[in-house]
Structure formats: C-alpha cells, structure tokens
Amino acid sequence: MTEKRRDGNMVYFEFRCPGCGAHGKLGLDHTEGMTPFGCPEECGATFVMWKPNEKYVLRCVVQPVST
C-alpha cells in the first residue's frame, strides 16, 4: 500500500488487510518510523511503514492464515 497523501507529520493510506480483509482510510505519524503496528481489527496481521523512495509504503510482515 502506497501513501495517498501527506499532511504535516501524518501519512494517509487506503488500507486493506490481507489477513481479514478490513479496509478503509488509515493515517499514521511518519515520525514513528518502522515501528510495527497491528491490524485495526486485531486479526493478528502486523505492518510496518517505511520509505524505500519518495513515497511511504505499508508492508505486511506477519499475515495470519486460517484453515
């Protein structure tokens, strides 16, 4: 997920969780750096925000799997 816009310290994304499918707008403070955070629905997915180039991106680093 790539940033949609920035406003001061906030970076906004169109969030979609690959674990539970939750989606919506999500704003994060970019001064938090690569601090891991969980899915807002608490499904067990974990994400980090990082900046590999000129835009911030969210990466899922832990994805829950159900059978």
pLDDT tens-digit profile of 2-57? 999 999 999 999 999 999 999 999 999 998 878 999 999 999 999 999 999 999 99
> Which whole-number Å values give the CA distances from 67 to 14, 25, 31, 39, in the listed order?
27, 29, 37, 20
| Whole-structure pTM value | 0.86
Nearest C-alpha neighbor of 22 from the set 5, 43, 2: 43
Amino acid symbol at 18: P
